Amino acid sequence: MSPDLLSRRTIAFVNIAHALDHFVLLIYPTAVIAIAAERHLSYASLIGLSTGAFVAFGLFSLPMGWIADRMGRRNLLAIFFGGCGIACLGLSTANAPIMFGIWLFVLGVFSAIYHPIGSTMLVSHTSQLGRDLGINGVWGNLGAAFASGITALLAASLGWRAAFILPGLVCLLVGIAFVSLVPGDGDSHGNSGGSKAVIPVARPMTLFLLFATAVVAGGMTFNITTIALPKIIDERAGVSLPLVLIGSLATLVFVFGALTQLLMGRLVDRYTLPRIFVGLSILQPLGLGLAALTTGIPMLGGLVLAMAAIYGQVVINDAMVARYVPAQYRARAFSVRYFLGFTTSGLAVPLIALLHGMSGFTLVLSVAATFGTVIFLCSVGFLLAAQPSSKPTSLPVG
């Protein structure tokens, strides 16, 4: 197989994997509305069962870079497809809270494979970094977007178990196709985006600390918003809505995030990352603050603005790792990047349950806006500290 064909196939499956990764993780936050109605249990008690999934999603991302160095990235991504498929089928059989918790944890473990491994594979095989990061981001965003709508449709028409069965089968089938069509990792140091020179900086440790803080805060805004979005719309739309319409509105909000990722991909190829970082990050506290203070259409407008900024930030973060970290360390750097963002953000689930129980989604969204403000302040600090260095010093990766 020619290197170009291998790269095209690899990027295609990495994009599909990104969509499936976000899709399977966000089935439960929508299905839980139907499960709660069937079991006559509270939303707060049921949504808390997914804590293990999101903690595992971040915790197990840390060793993936090291494991990939030994097993191969292609083999690890194949395990991702198979593991997620099996976990979804397992969830469809759950009858007790403890079984939901166990299978959600298993799903989180296998879902943790994608981001550090898929991001490294993409950067290694791309010929135009910003464009392909933007497209990859759209795939992930659409996976999250359609999770709400498709899950709501399946749960309303076929029952909530079908909402896990069908995606599980899709994961298994895609995994079989991936193993058949992508024979190996290929050359990760060819004419790809991974071969570009690392941007030299004068204060790498300062930039690393600012970036790490922004990643942690961004993980909180990302997970608070994406996990709670269907229920936020359910409670604050201003009118009583059926589950299918709630899922459809959640999907529409996610689609705006996808459009922003395409725009960010274009901007990454044209402008400096620190300036893009500042311009985008201000939108998170503004959008989340508007959503916290309003209901109905203005609330939806705030969510659209926040979701666009949150998903656009994912592209910026991945581009920073690609541009500031040497190629031989990128798999480990992506592992650290997603460990910081996803492990800390695993606290989002109990935090949502706690804050919602105290004062509803006004308090939940207000706290999310506070995290958004932290991201903006970090972006300003990053811009001020990102002065070029006469020596080619890159960011530390742990």
Which secondary structure element, helix H or strand E, spans residue 168, and what is its range? helix 162-181
Highest mean pLDDT among 4-13, 168-177, 346-355: 168-177
Sequence-ordered list of residues with C-beta below 8 angstroms from that of 342, at least 6 positions apart, any chain: 54, 57, 58, 59, 61, 112, 115, 219, 223
Residue whose tokens read 């709670």: 228
pLDDT of residue 195 exceeding 60, the answer is: no
d(CA 250, CA 246): 6
**Torsion, Cα of 126, 132, 133, 136 (10° steps):** -110
d(CA 62, CA 68): 11
pLDDT at 240: 66
pLDDT at 187: 55
SS3 content of the chain, % helix, strand, coil (to 5): 80, 0, 20
**Which residue stretches of 238-295 are H helix?**
243-268, 273-281, 283-293
Q: Residue range 258-264: average pLDDT?
A: 82
Q: With a threshold of 0.85, does the pTM exceed it? A: no
Highest mean pLDDT among 26-35, 43-52, 291-300, 366-375: 366-375
Residues of the chain with pLDDT > 70: what percent?
91
Using 50, 70 and 90 to split pLDDT, how confident is the model at 239?
Answer: low
pLDDT of residue 30 exceeding 90, the answer is: no
Using 50, 70 and 90 to split pLDDT, how confident is the model at 197?
Answer: low
Q: Residue range 102-117: average pLDDT?
A: 94
pLDDT digits 0-9 by tens, 158-193:
999 999 999 999 999 999 999 999 988 875 444 444
Sequence-ordered list of residues with C-beta below 8 angstroms from that of 227, at least 6 positions apart, any chain: 26, 29, 47, 50, 54, 348, 349, 352
Using 50, 70 and 90 to split pLDDT, how confident is the model at 70?
Answer: confident
Q: Residue range 211-234: average pLDDT?
A: 86
pLDDT of residue 398 exceeding 50, the answer is: no
Residue whose C-alpha is closest to residue 16's, from 81, 85, 64:
81
d(CA 249, CA 370): 25
Q: Three-state SS for 190?
A: coil
Q: Three-state SS for 228?
A: helix
Q: Residue range 218-228: average pLDDT?
A: 86
pLDDT at 395: 54
Angle between helices 64-71 and 73-92 (to 10 degrees): 120
- Structure-block tokens of residue 213: 């803080």
pLDDT at 190: 43
